[in-house]
Amino acid sequence: MLLPLLLSALWCVSPGVIGVPGAQEEEEGEVKIHVQHRPFICHRKSKFGDLLLVHQAGYFQNGTLFHSSRIHGDKQPGWFTLGVREVILGWDRGLQDMCAGERRKLVIPPALAYGAEGKGKIPPQSTLTFLIELLEIRNGPRSHEAFQEMDLNDDWRLSRSEVIAHLKKEFEQNGQPPNDTLNEIIMNNIFKKEDQNKDGYLTSREFTYKHDEL
């Protein structure tokens, strides 16, 4: 179900109905967050770069439901990475510090949703309300936890062979046949993009998501 972590990050899997926000950058208003249920036990709270599994229902201001993951499509909850604009900005902001099992209502102004243009069945300038249930939190593809896991010799940098080893593991876990050629290509792409000082290693800083987007 879960795509290979590095791959999903690189190839930017379509987030489906959650939708990629438009080019709208100006900011207006804030997300209103109502915690509807918080579980008694909370081992870990969602943070930037985490992978979240959620059920969601979206409503227009007049109360009409426009999407529900429980009713529409495959009726399955969906994964996304928090804080990297894979989803609308209102979600990135409104779903932080959340526990697995927690339910929130978010009221999101247009500038933090689909903006002046709208999208699909979302009309321009729509304030949207979402009911979100967070089912599971996992380490994101570009988290510090993922970095530490990949850094096999604990020297705080990822070598080419460490990245290759990780790709092999991901393919294996996802039941894909081994393909050294493909691993080599993906690894080279990663280093081309991420190894900013071209020293042949990825530091944690080069590897993890940048925080300045929020």
Residues counted in the chain: 214
- Kindly state the DSSP code that residue 203 receives in the 8-state scheme: E
Interface map 63-82 toward ligand NAG (x if CB under 6 A): -x------------------
Q: How many Cα atoms sit within 13 Å of 135 on the Cβ side?
A: 11
* Longest CA span, the chain: 56
Q: Which does 41 bind (CB under 5 to 8 A by kind): ligand NAG, Ca ion, none?
A: none
Q: Write the CA distances from 49 to 5, 6, 13, 96, integer angstroms.
A: 12, 13, 15, 10
Interface map 19-58 toward ligand NAG (x if CB under 6 A): ----------------------------------------
**Does 127 interact with ligand NAG (rule: CB under 6 A)?**
no
Angle formed by the axes of helices 180-194 and 160-173, to 10°?
A: 130
Question: Which CB atom, from 65 or from 152, has the smaller least distance to Ca ion?
Answer: 152
Q: Which does 176 bind (CB under 5 to 8 A by kind): ligand NAG, Ca ion, none?
A: none
Interface map 105-144 toward Ca ion (x if CB under 5 A): ----------------------------------------
**Does 170 interact with Ca ion (rule: CB under 5 A)?**
no
**Does 191 interact with ligand NAG (rule: CB under 6 A)?**
no
Bridge partners (DSSP) of residue 58 are: 67, 130
Question: Which CB atom, from 48 or from 207, has the smaller least distance to Ca ion?
Answer: 207
Question: Which CB atom, from 128 or from 134, has the smaller least distance to ligand NAG?
Answer: 128
**H or E, element range at 133:** strand 128-138
**Does 192 interact with Ca ion (rule: CB under 5 A)?**
no
> Closest by alpha carbon to 96, among 82, 106, 85?
82
